[in-house]
Homo-oligomer: A and B are copies of this chain.
Amino acid sequence: MMFKINDNYLKLPGSYLFSTIGKKVNAFTEANPDKPIIRLGIGDVTQPLAPAIIDSLHNAVDEMANAETFHGYAPDLGYEFLRSAIAKNDYQARGCDIAADEVFISDGAKCDSGNIQEIFSLDNKIAVCDPVYPVYVDTNVMAGRTGIYNAATEMWSNVIYMPCTAETNFAPELPKETPDIIYLCFPNNPTGSTLTKSQLQEWIDYANKAGAVIIYDAAYEAYITEEDVPHTIYECEGARSCAIELRSFSKNAGFTGVRLGATIIPKDLKSGDVTLHSLWARRHGTKYNGAPYIVQRAGEAVYSEEGKAQLKKQVAYYMNNAKVIYEGLKDAGYKVSGGVNAPYIWLQTPKGMTSWEFFDYLLENANVVGTPGSGFGPSGEGYFRLTAFGSYENTVEAIERIKRKG
């Protein structure tokens, strides 16, 4: 007799993509201390927090220094001031019918995208784009929802994969088998592709008809530059009865190290009489204790007039990098996509190299770190992701190096 572990964890092949990259980069740096690395791999921001956010953080810290203005436990689901700011600015201002009490504040979209599966039955079958952000699949593996792993195909027996390659214009096609839960992320990580409003409407109609839930990751919406690309799934009709939306402050406000996110669950989204809103509220109340007060105040500053203006510039800075990468690689003869509505550029590896071969090649020859497409799923093989989150100077230098040696 002895306690038993959750052996679903043991089914996970190897370690998490970015851990592996980190180890390879550390090994290279130790062996080549004279070769400065430029990192365009992990989607981590590099610009400092905007002044309006810094001011807000300092003010909130000062509030914590006095008993009269001190804040202890936050409301489970988030402070009203932040929930209202999100509902008003991200939804109502776009004509979307989302109320403040349908917004749940969290410490980031990674946590929410990993935790959201907990409110669903283990019998449910998920569908994911391929390639895809690894957290969606891995957290379902850990919960025991994905069946058996086939090392040859790198696929799970109980997951529906929707290939997104050059052949499909990097958009998923409606699956032949009906899933229960559909993960969609647009603008897409890793490919940088988007769906138009009418394309997304097809998914809503499909999900409502099939009785499926869409988990829509909108972490990159601030990077949209084209007119016809929806900033939220609730721009489409019928989304209130089939879609959960995940929002992040990491990329639109540089909060990767600050930690703030939000999940939207409309009260119309039900299984029988049970709202998913009530289940997520229960999870938050039982397994979570709120985002820090000072961080929620920083989130509020994102929606101030000053904050909006400053962040518009910050996003434009990164999108200028995206342009540098996109056009530089195109000039150099690479096949590239993304980069127009997203901070990610997706390129086809040259000369038939695998994704990891190209990773090693780029690291060794150009001292540039990117992310191998195969790390995002089998259909990512033969592709490679570069991010626009470096500094302008580093981005220009990286592209020069790739042109020279890559």
Contact = CB atoms under 8 A, between A and B. Distances in A.
Interface of A: 1-7, 9-10, 12, 15-16, 19, 42, 44-49, 51, 54, 57-58, 61-62, 64-67, 70-74, 76, 107-108, 110-111, 114-115, 118-124, 134-135, 138-139, 142, 178, 180-181, 210-213, 254, 256-259, 271, 274, 276, 279, 282-283, 285-295, 391
Contact of A282 (B9, B254, B285): B9
A211 B1 CA distance: 6
A61 B64 contact: no
A298 to B, nearest CB: 9
B257 A71 contact: yes
Given A57-B294, A115-B287, A257-B293, A10 B274 contact: yes
Contacts of A285: 15-16, 19
B48 A65 contact: yes
A76 to B, nearest CB: 8
Contacts of A15: 282, 285
B45 A54 contact: no
A176 to B, nearest CB: 14
A42 B73 contact: yes
Contact of A279 (B6, B46, B210, B289): B6
A271 B5 contact: yes
A166 B286 CA distance: 29
A7 B211 CA distance: 17
Most buried by B among A12, A181, A254, A287: A287
Given A72-B44, A72-B257, A257-B72, A279 B5 contact: yes
A181 to B, nearest CB: 6
A54 B66 CA distance: 10
Nearest to A10: B274
B180 A139 contact: no
A380 B4 CA distance: 30
Given A44-B73, A115-B287, 12 more contacts: A1-B178, A4-B124, A5-B121, A5-B274, A12-B282, A47-B70, A58-B58, A73-B257, A114-B287, A114-B288, A259-B292, A292-B295
A317 to B, nearest CB: 11
24 contacts: A1-B178, A1-B211, A2-B271, A3-B121, A3-B124, A3-B211, A4-B120, A4-B124, A4-B180, A6-B121, A15-B285, A16-B285, A42-B73, A47-B67, A48-B65, A48-B67, A58-B58, A58-B61, A114-B288, A135-B287, A139-B286, A142-B282, A257-B292, A259-B290
A16 B47 CA distance: 41
A66 B279 CA distance: 41
